[in-house]
Structure 1
């Protein structure tokens, strides 16, 4: 081999070692950078006319475990869906309150029942009658507050949907732009690894909203599909639309046309249910909170309010009441009547109140709690029959006419406890599922990091590149000395 050929070989070795040191340096400095894929220098023997001619740098390969990333993204979607659902159910649980908490609906019911018992023992005491009125108002107000909180949770979910859809559209557009730029850089034989890193971060963001699968295309481009086959990107990005209703009140549904569903490229697309195109991820959980979980909670709360109103508007309880007269609890001041208003139960918990005839501040009188709401005059102050009758009605076992608990009879306190416990159980189950999903996502994330940059290994590689650089430099120095000796001859 000629000296010039040897010099060329050594020079190619120097270049490869220098480039390798740069790659190692990049790996070490970005070991904790989100989305960074470890770089590997690819080299091959350089041959000229079947003879070795040093080393050739082929390029820099981004070394990642694509299957592990795919599994981690699906786990991220499941974790986001479970966490969002648990958060929504926890808000509903807070709306009802904990059963043994005095500020809960169950606590208000217990306080009202105790006030009735105390007043029945001393029907002549205005203070005890005032306590009955106060606890009645507290109970109705607590039900109103819970209903408002439920509707607020629906509006919060809708705001989350708006945010998710906006993020989805913006991120898909950015991925499409990176696809184009990566293809361009590859066509110029430039290293596009940094762009691929950025694209991975964007795809990870999408994966929290909806489960996504990445499919490699030519020239470094990728296509994105949901787990159930909807094309997010395979060419131009999909466009999603969602119209916020702003204020949500009971009875507003997608089926009724009052609330918006999700559209994809101008066509409705399913978000929940078996094989839903956009199912999974935080987006499904938010739609589920707005359209299912909160609606079910509202239905049960309305059923509770109906049962409460019907117990006290029965003339058998208060003989002063006639047909169509409101009892102690009212539907916005009137009796509850499905005959004249078939939709009277929808949103009843937002309208339940206390009959003004018993409220001195509203022109009523406390004695009506003892003598009858529609009584013309106060009866004997020692007559506790009405108070006892109301207490009996309150504690009587009665099968609810609507809601989720229509298969058995409950006292008022037991029905409230059942409703509160039902939402609490669902919330707790969702929290446990969220913990499991989060742990799985964390485990896969840790596994991905473990297969990322190992700084110890990178430093070993750096030492090898330094040795290779020194060896090739020694060859070049020796060739230089030989050339000088030849020139001196």
Structure 2
């Protein structure tokens, strides 16, 4: 009996020590990102009776049945899904704000109205050199603002493409780490702290990955995970211990496309999707800006062709190029502005052609087009910001729910410390009693 009691007490002391270790790990990692609370699952050790007593059952102590991670797969999936949506919205808003700044800070709209105002002033005295110089300077300012906007949009595009390229690099790095984690999980034993740590690492990597792209996961019985990008129909990034490579290709308009091998990937979530959406809007804005610049060039040059310069020679193009980036002023001589109709003599005060130019510009309405472009980008940013804030709220709610279920409660762990410490002390006392009984039996003569 005494030896049985020693065995039972020893098993109780071992189980209590393991439970204390697990409780200590919980307390030490209470603030660790991605850590999931562990619980020691203890079970009775039962042994059958001796010879001719196979029906008897003897309780022989306690053992650690498993280390349970208090993780809810559904809540974890919700955190990944909502976090992916929030990351997409945040990346899109960040990109669109850069586009908005590039267009607004160039001050194109004021430069257009200033050019139109200079033409109106010139019509009062078409032969005044100072008015001609002022008109040419306003044209130069307009050209400069369009060039600046184009350059800033190019910088915004390069920045977004760089961020997307870095995101692709991170996705591939996380995929490789997940594949290595899968291999370690397949080799790990059940009911071990190492396995729990590997599962924590797996879940943390999945959450990081969902920040870059929308992921679909498939979990195996051994804890390994398969990952697809771009929904259920998307290609596999991680399969067992192997990881594929995500690639990005920038199209002619700067919009990126993604693929795994030869299979295209259509991303609906994560920062990569948001950056792609921002680049798509940037391409639309750039197209609109180039169209506006081309309208200004063709309108002004067409009017120039129907008039004569101050010296009576036929009007020549004042502007060149056909995009916001290539538009340029072709002359620095104000006398080249064709204010008089064709056939007029030198130094003519007839503003007929200038009036036609102003009418053509008013009809083309570059100021109205620029105003519409500014409204388009500003309203898009405002709308996406509202969506981002809503998605952030949803993502934060999902994360809070997961933390409440799987996070460490220090009050609960303090109770466990006392409980398992008392269990350890009780097992030690039982071993002391068993030793006393055994010594007493040996002393009997």
Same fold (TM over 0.5): yes
Specify the alignment match of 1:208 in structure 2: 211
Post-superposition offset of 1:376: 9.5
Are 2:189 and 1:186 aligned? yes
CA–CA separation in structure 2 for the residues paired with 1:480 and 1:57: 25
Specify the alignment match of 2:51 in structure 1: none
Post-superposition offset of 1:307: 2.0
CA–CA separation in structure 2 for the residues paired with 1:437 and 1:305: 38
Post-superposition offset of 1:373: 11
Q: 1:374 to 1:268 in 2, by over 3 A?
A: farther
Are 2:413 and 1:480 aligned? no
TM-score when normalising by structure 1 = 0.80
CA contact (8 A) 1:105 1:142 kept: yes
Are 2:63 and 1:52 aligned? no
1:365-417 superposed Cα distances (whole Å, 9 cap, x missing partner): 2233364599998514x555454443333333x4xxxxxxxxxxxx3322210
Specify the alignment match of 2:275 in structure 1: 286
- 1:209-224 aligned at under 5 Å gives the runs 209-224=212-227
Tell me which of 364, 371, 389 is aligned to 1:435.
389
Specify the alignment match of 1:313 in structure 2: 301
CA contact (8 A) 1:317 1:389 kept: no
Tell me which of 74, 77, 80 is aligned to 2:87.
80
Structure 1 runs (4+) greater than 6 angstroms displaced: 187-190, 373-377
- 1:210-289 aligned at under 5 Å gives the runs 210-226=213-229, 227-230=231-234, 231-235=236-240, 236-242=242-248, 252-253=252-253, 261-265=257-261, 267-271=262-266, 278-289=267-278
Structure 1 unpaired stretches of 5+: 246-251, 272-277, 332-344, 360-364, 399-410
Specify the alignment match of 2:175 in structure 1: 172
Note the aligned Cα RMSD (angstroms): 2.9
CA–CA separation in structure 2 for the residues paired with 1:107 and 1:445: 47
- 1:338-487 aligned at under 5 Å gives the runs 348-356=323-331, 359=332, 365-369=333-337, 371=339, 378-380=346-348, 383-396=350-363, 398=364, 411-451=365-405, 452-487=407-442
Specify the alignment match of 1:65 in structure 2: 72
- 1:111-126 aligned at under 5 Å gives the runs 111-126=114-129
CA contact (8 A) 2:9 2:430 kept: yes
Post-superposition offset of 1:300: 0.8
CA–CA separation in structure 1 for the residues paired with 2:7 and 2:300: 101
Post-superposition offset of 1:187: 7.2
Structure 2 unpaired stretches of 5+: 49-56
1:307-355 superposed Cα distances (whole Å, 9 cap, x missing partner): 222322234885239xx97543332xxxxxxxxxxxxx5xx22111223
1:279-308 superposed Cα distances (whole Å, 9 cap, x missing partner): 322222333344x22221121112211222
- Secondary structure of the residue that 2:32 maps to in structure 1? coil
CA contact (8 A) 1:20 1:465 kept: yes
Specify the alignment match of 2:53 in structure 1: none
Q: 1:71 to 1:155 in 2, by over 3 A?
A: same
1:71-125 superposed Cα distances (whole Å, 9 cap, x missing partner): 1101111111111211222222112106xxxx42112112222333333345454
Specify the alignment match of 1:20 in structure 2: 19
CA contact (8 A) 1:119 1:132 kept: yes
Q: 1:189 to 1:83 in 2, by over 3 A?
A: closer
TM-score when normalising by structure 2 = 0.87
CA contact (8 A) 2:86 2:388 kept: yes
Q: 1:487 to 1:18 in 2, by over 3 A?
A: same
